[in-house]
Structure 1
Amino acid sequence: MTNRQPPSGIAGFPVTPLNENGNIDEQGLTANIEFLLEEGLDSIFVACGAGEFHNLSDDEFESIVKLGASVVGGRVPFYTGVGGNLSGAVEKAKISEKYGADGYLILPPYLIDGEQEGIYQYYKTVVTSTDLNAIIYQRANAISNLETVKRLAEFPQIVGVKDGVGNTELNIELTRELGDRFGWLNGMPLAEVTMPAYHPLGFNGYSSAISNYIPHISRKFYNALLADDQKTMNDLYQDVILPINRIRRKRKGYAVALIKAGMEIVGLPVSRTVRPPVVPVKDEHYEELKQILKSALDKYPPNRKVEI
């Protein structure tokens, strides 16, 4: 029987490391996933937004899922990203099932801004194609209203809702009406910024971009949030989280590119190489991030040795 327990806590969303030729660096990806597991992240989601899902070929997607499933090896819940055109989303769901994933996050369909009935039919077609767990993603052109989410709740495969929009009124409606039926994940860019507003609504997990390079800061922040330790949260906001977020907002695509820059700075096997239309981090922004991380690691040293 399929375990319908939704993921909670801090979710790791590995990037897709690329070599100088623009091809996937599988050794780098293996090292990155292992790093997240060693640092105690609660779940792993490969080939999603941070993993440049939009720019992966079918063969690349399959190789990432196969590798990720092997590396995770059942230690934590393992999820993939599916989405885009409907037939492609279904195919990726079946690939995820083939390699033993626990489930997948459904990213928005391609381009079309559909009616609620269309969004419902899109999700229904994907989630009924396998018995894997599914998480719907409130983002871009796939924002489900309360009635649509209620209809989707009839499918046992759907275990969670991830929000990347920030519509507080809608989130209150959904969580008050559907409560424990779903796991609720905060998927806003740099989710640590908004997590204090999400947590009281019942959101018990989030995707952490900075966990890719300073996971001990993510954990320190989340522990402080759960303990209502306002001083620690405020210190982390001022020293690390808000300064990084200010850089992230300077250019489009930095939600992905800045992660790779941070990973390179702390010595993880990832270069700044990204695929268009995402652009790499500008040198001056790279230096800004480097100084923030140097100060942060001095004040909040991790268990492992990091030299910047």
Structure 2
Amino acid sequence: MTIVREAPKGILGFPTAPYDERGNIDENALGENIDFLIREGLTAIFIACGSGEFHAINNYEYQRMVEIAVSVTGGRVPVYTGVGGNITHAVEKVKLSEELGADGYLILPPYLIEGEQEGLYNYYKTIVESSSLNAILYQRDNAILQLPALERLVQEYPQIVGVKDGYGDMELNLEMIQSLGDRLEWLNGMPFAEITMPAYAGIGFSSYSSAISNYLPHLSRQYYQAILSGDHELVRRIYVDVFLPINRIRKSQKGYAISLIKAGMRIRGFNVANTVRPPVVPVSKEHYEDLEKIINLALEKYPLHQEESTHS
């Protein structure tokens, strides 16, 4: 089989890890979440990553989430898995992802340790050389590659197809894009990426991970198309009316980057409980009600077209 060395482009889907009343993964709800994202036009499924509580799920749950993603997706879009943390566990998850039919994986930062550039190079090298699957590197927290280390990696490993930035150093991003150009796909992975996408698009990032697409995908699409077409007024209105108020709630509590997604999905009628695993906290009643008001206002001001699907 020939592997296409190309990262997904456009708006990328990051499903949650929905739990049932017993605190177990609700597999039906997960399947619905994935299918909804695909039907709404998202170009890839990134399963068991940050939004999917990679930090909190056990090995069996991880395997089931990947199996469900591959099955539900059915080849309609590529499936990427989350790997990282403990390096030996990361290699095991890469091999498992390959066995289960995933198309690639996103490498999350190493556990706790803040390594030198040579250490980060070897961290990525050890993971990437364990498989022929496509790999996307994640610039975040304690894993920030500088250009020389990234250049070494992409020269040696054609399976590295993209870099996702969740750090926000625009000077570093420009240095990498200008030096490596279209050798890689550049993905905006900042928390609530729509907030920063106008700036990222301006320097060459054409893809981003969208948490809000789990409950307002039509608005993310409108916003993205407005950015691409240069409709600055529509970008401004959606930003001010919807994204900025939601982002204020997100930033009010640590962990809301995960739990606020589930709250939004529940408000939109998905079978997803407002339940997360520690140390993440669920959305408070006050913030839930604030989010509900914003979503209702967003649907009133930017309604779904009749031909578009809704779970409300």
Give CA deviations for 1:212-249 in whole Å, capped at 9, x if unaligned: 10000000000000000011111101111101001000
Q: Take 1:35 and 1:305, find their aligned partners in 2: how far apart are those partners?
A: 9
C-alpha distance in structure 1 between counterparts of 2:90 and 2:143, whole Å: 14
Aligned-pair identity (%): 60
Work out whether 1:174 is the aligned partner of 2:176: yes
Aligned partners of 2:221, 2:75: CA distance in 1, in Å?
A: 21
Cα gap change, 1:220/1:5 in structure 2, threshold over 3 Å: closer, same or farther? same
SS in 1 for 2:5: coil
Question: 2 CA distance for matches of 1:275 and 1:305?
Answer: 28
For residue 305 of structure 1, report the CA deviation from its aligned partner.
4.6
Partner of 2:55: helix, strand, or coil?
Answer: helix
Q: Deviations over 1:37-89 (max 9, x none)?
A: 11111111000000000011111111111111011111011101000101100
Contact 1:83 1:109 in 2 (8 A): yes
Q: Which residue of 1 aligns with 2:186?
A: 184
Stretches of structure 2 that go unaligned for 5 or more consecutive residues are none
For residues 191-202 of structure 1, what are the structure 2 equivalents within 5 Å?
Answer: 191-202=193-204
What's the CA shift for 1:306?
5.2
Match of 1:93 in 2: 94
What is the one-letter code of the residue matched to 2:275?
A: T
Give the residue type in structure 2 aligned to 1:34.
D
Matched, 1:304 2:309: yes
- Cα contact 1:32–1:269 (8 A) shared by 2: no
Shift of 1:304: 3.1
1:136 counterpart letter in structure 2: L
Please tell me whether residue 63 in structure 1 is matched to residue 68 in structure 2. no
Kept in 1: contact 2:6–2:161 (CA 8 A): yes
What is the distance in 1 between the residues matched to 2:13 and 2:93? 20
Q: Deviations over 1:235-291 (max 9, x none)?
A: 101111101001000000000000000000000111111000000001100000000
- Say if 1:225 and 1:202 are closer, same or farther in 2 by CA, change over 3 A: same
Give, in whole Å, the separation in 1 of the partners of 2:161 and 2:301: 38
Q: Secondary structure at the match of 1:80?
A: strand
Aligned residue number for residue 295 of structure 1: 297
Q: 1:164 touches 1:186 (CA, 8 Å); kept in 2?
A: yes
> What TM-score do you get using the length of structure 2 for normalisation?
0.97
Matched with 1:38 is 39
Give the CA deviation at 1:301: 1.4
**What is the RMSD of the two structures over their aligned residues, measured on CA atoms?**
0.8
Cα contact 1:185–1:203 (8 A) shared by 2 = yes
Distance in 2, matches of 1:237 and 1:200, equals 16
4+ residue stretches of structure 1 with deviation over 2 A?
A: 303-307
Counterpart of 2:164 in structure 1 is 162
**Aligned ranges for residues 151-300 of structure 1 at < 5 Å?**
151-154=152-155, 155-300=157-302
- State whether residues 30 and 67 of structure 1, in contact with CA within 8 Å, keep that contact through their aligned partners in structure 2: yes
Q: Is residue 213–residue 262 contact of structure 1 (8 Å, CA) maintained in 2?
A: yes
Note the 1:115-126 alignment, pairs <5 A. 115-126=116-127
TM-score, normalization: structure 1? 0.98
Classify the secondary structure of the residue corresponding to 2:45: strand
Deviation track 1:165-200 (CA, whole Å, cap 9, x = no partner) reads 000110010000001110000000111111111112
Matched positions, count: 307
Partners of 1:235 and 1:248 in 2: CA distance: 19
* AA at the equivalent of 1:244: I
State the Cα distance separating 1:149 from its structure 2 match: 0.6
Distance 2:165 2:86 in 1: 21
SS of corresponding position for 1:53: coil
2:128 maps to which residue?
Answer: 127
CA–CA distance in 1 between the matches of 2:278 and 2:43? 31
Q: What is the rounded CA distance, in whole Å, between the counterparts of 1:299 and 1:200 in structure 2? A: 27
Contact 2:270–2:311 at 8 Å: present in 1 too? Answer: no
Aligned mates of 1:50, 1:60 — CA distance in 2:
14
